[in-house]
Structure 1
């Protein structure tokens, strides 16, 4: 991510959430639609303005880079949000999941209801982003086995983590499920872990240092 931002001194973090992906080595402003997420930002996360990607409250070329991390699939009008990023910044950096790759993740077999969520149905591909941004590079971002960030693919080699309700609550695609669907999926996973069925199919993953789950870093401008 730091390399993708290059020499940019000013960054607008669009859909910044609680500020976990805030670059710490340059001036950063944040836009986040949820008051709850803004309230969770710590003092080191920097200032945040309540707003949406589709109507960024900044002037033309106000920033060197507009950054969007794991957020596009939550936007109401993705194409408009991408145009806004182009308007307020000279360059754009987007971290997203490529649906045709990420939807192959073994976790989907246990929580198939995720695929019916609007955030998954409408998740943009890299090609879609390329229709709206002047893409320069697309880089795969493999997830390390010891990833601690807590997003959907973070525990691909540590399946027991997905049994924890607190872990699932921090993953939007699981948190948006009905309690019944979430518990049913967790029960299926628990049963397969206890019987050894999960390890029979996927146990080799525990030995890998990292895995490509379809996360892609797009640099444009």
Structure 2
């Protein structure tokens, strides 16, 4: 079964486009009239105003794409169904860490487009996130098994690696999105759309969330993380990797 056929239910309701990340993605795609959106999911970061073809393996994700979305082909990144240099740019947003053979997928990005724009993250930085540090350290093993942004940048021969901090009111409910809104993680619908939760045993997650709930009730979380409440954005390690032929 494709991963997101299992965990992608309800994804579109919580993983919504945030313009503060879409803008740098569009800037990186400047001059690209045709774009292959690889691992497009529900199309949250499909660039408007371009000719876009989406590639997505999950039926569940394809079924949540809104009306008017770019055409989508069910396929995997490791075998993109287009010829060499078929498009001006290949875009891959928060998807490489789910690929079965990420190096082969990156080679495919290089094959099909002279410009590659990949949104990834530094997997080691997740150890500093309070959810992992204090409640679910088991997630760190999963994250460290995934390709990091530095690995992807090296494989792509990146020209630019741009940090993308997470604003405190971020609308795309990825794993660290609620770093300043901890009560959000008590909602199982929020946890369901973040693969770090979805790929961790349910009993482990429930145990960690129970500790979080207790710390929120007692005020301990706020005592331990008071400095975060003054911050407007958080560097969770997300990086925009840009590579040109």
Q: TM-score range by the shorter chain?
A: over 0.9
> How far apart are 1:127 and its partner, in Å?
2.7
TM-score, structure 2 normalization:
0.86
Q: Which secondary structure does the structure 2 equivalent of 1:44 belong to?
A: coil
| Partner in structure 2 of residue 82 of structure 1 | 106
> How far apart are 1:111 and its partner, in Å?
1.8
TM-score, structure 1 normalization:
0.95
Is residue 113 from structure 1 mapped to residue 138 from structure 2 by the alignment? yes
Unaligned 5+ runs, structure 2 = 1-24
Task: After superposition, give the CA deviation of every residue in 1:97-120 in whole Å (9 maximum; x if it has no partner).
Answer: 101223321111312222343xx2
Contact 1:102 1:215 in 2 (8 A): no
- CA pair 103-48 structure 1, distance change in 2 beyond 3 A: farther
Is residue 17 from structure 1 mapped to residue 41 from structure 2 by the alignment? yes
| Partner in structure 1 of residue 214 of structure 2 | 191
Q: Which secondary structure does the structure 2 equivalent of 1:96 belong to?
A: strand
Is residue 145 from structure 1 mapped to residue 172 from structure 2 by the alignment? no
Task: After superposition, give the CA deviation of every residue in 1:134-163 in whole Å (9 maximum; x if it has no partner).
Answer: 211001101111101111111110011001
Return 101-110 or 155-164, whichever deviates more: 101-110
Which residues of 2 match residues 13-162 of structure 1 at below 5 A?
A: 13-108=37-132, 109-117=134-142, 120-162=143-185
> How many residues were matched structurally?
219
Q: Distance in 2 between matches of 1:151 and 1:127?
A: 20
Return 175-184 or 47-56, whichever deviates more: 175-184
RMSD: 1.2
Is residue 204 from structure 1 mapped to residue 214 from structure 2 by the alignment? no
Q: Which secondary structure does the structure 1 equivalent of 2:204 belong to?
A: helix
> How far apart are 1:121 and its partner, in Å?
3.4
> How far apart are 1:122 and its partner, in Å?
2.6
> How far apart are 1:200 and its partner, in Å?
1.0
Q: Distance in 2 between matches of 1:55 and 1:183?
A: 37
Return 131-140 or 78-87, whichever deviates more: 131-140
Q: Distance in 2 between matches of 1:157 and 1:146?
A: 8
Unaligned 5+ runs, structure 1 = none
Higher strand share: 1
